[in-house]
């Protein structure tokens, strides 16, 4: 029997268990030679990597490392979205941009207190490790989620840069056109945390 790879486990977590989220944009954390962060969803919204480097965890999962100076992943126009979910391990958890949706108005970032904030979203619910919370811990892997019942326009989606640059590691970025339920978020967390030693 063929040994299950990290790629197999990622695809199982995303495509089989979460098949109802087919409208999502899914960034697969497996390195490519063409300078892109590959989107494994049917949408095909691949990200163009600028400076950010690949690192491999003990689990075998490849993640993106951002230096906080000029690293970013430019995705572009992905339409209207309601949810952004990702695993992050910040080297600096104060005043750092994580995601920019539209070139500077609607964004997700860490504020000066190390809290996860969603700027210009209509009525966002913010989760850390599948619990409603905002505090993000430095130098620790944690799963963050911002979800809203109202769609936001993501016509210039950028990972790692808006007013500032993100410093730290990031993996398994999952962007959905659907409002994610607490049950979905919890299930996603439980099915992927082993990859990060959580």
Q: pLDDT (tens digit, 9 = 90+) per residue, 53-105?
A: 999 899 888 899 999 999 999 999 999 999 999 999 999 988 899 999 999 99
pLDDT of 198 higher than 50: yes
**Main-chain phi, psi angles of 19, to 5 degrees:** -60, -25
Cα–chain-centroid distance for residue 89?
Answer: 11
pLDDT of 25 higher than 70: no
Q: Any idea which of 19-28, 49-58, 85-94, 131-140 has the lowest mean pLDDT?
A: 19-28
The answer to whether the CB of 103 falls within 8 A of the CB of 152 is no
d(CA 191, CA 102): 31
Give the residue from 27, 51, 58, 21 showing the smallest Cα distance to 40.
27
**Main-chain phi, psi angles of 10, to 5 degrees:** -65, -50
- Give Cβ neighbours of residue 163 (< 8 Å, ≥ 6 apart): 97, 104, 107, 109
Banded model confidence at residue 17, pLDDT cuts 50, 70, 90: very low
- Per-residue confidence (pLDDT) for residue 16, from 0 to 100: 44
pLDDT of 127 higher than 90: yes
pLDDT of 185 higher than 80: yes
Which domains, from first to last, does the chain contain? 6-196 (2.60.120.200)
Kindly report the pTM of this predicted structure.
0.89
> CA–CA distance from 174 to each of 2, 3, 153 (Å)?
28, 26, 16
77 phi-psi bin (left φ>0, alpha ψ -120 to 50, beta other): beta
Average pLDDT of the chain, as a whole number: 86
Token reading at 94: 């104060």
Cα–chain-centroid distance for residue 96?
Answer: 14
Q: Any idea which of 15-19, 58-62, 173-177 has the lowest mean pLDDT?
A: 15-19
């Amino acid at each position: 029997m063929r040994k299950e790879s990290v790629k197999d486990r990622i695809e199982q977590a995303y495509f089989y268990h979460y098949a109802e989220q087919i409208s999502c944009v899914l960034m697969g954390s497996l390195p490519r030679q063409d300078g892109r962060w590959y989107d494994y969803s049917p949408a095909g919204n691949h990200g163009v990597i600028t400076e950010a480097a690949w690192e491999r965890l003990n689990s075998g999962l490849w993640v993106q490392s951002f230096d906080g100076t000029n690293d970013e992943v430019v995705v572009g126009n992905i339409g209207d979205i309601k949810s952004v979910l990702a695993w992050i391990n910040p080297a600096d958890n104060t005043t750092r941009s994580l995601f920019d949706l539209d070139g500077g108005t609607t964004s997700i970032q860490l504020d000066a207190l190390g809290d996860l904030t969603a700027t210009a979203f209509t009525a966002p619910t913010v989760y850390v490790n599948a619990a409603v919370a905002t505090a993000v811990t430095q130098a620790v892997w944690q799963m963050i989620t911002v979800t809203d019942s109202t769609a936001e326009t993501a016509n210039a989606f950028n990972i790692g840069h808006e007013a500032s640059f993100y410093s730290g590691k990031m993996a398994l970025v999952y962007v959905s056109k659907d409002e994610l339920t607490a049950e979905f978020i919890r299930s996603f967390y439980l099915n992927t945390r082993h990859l990060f030693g959580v």
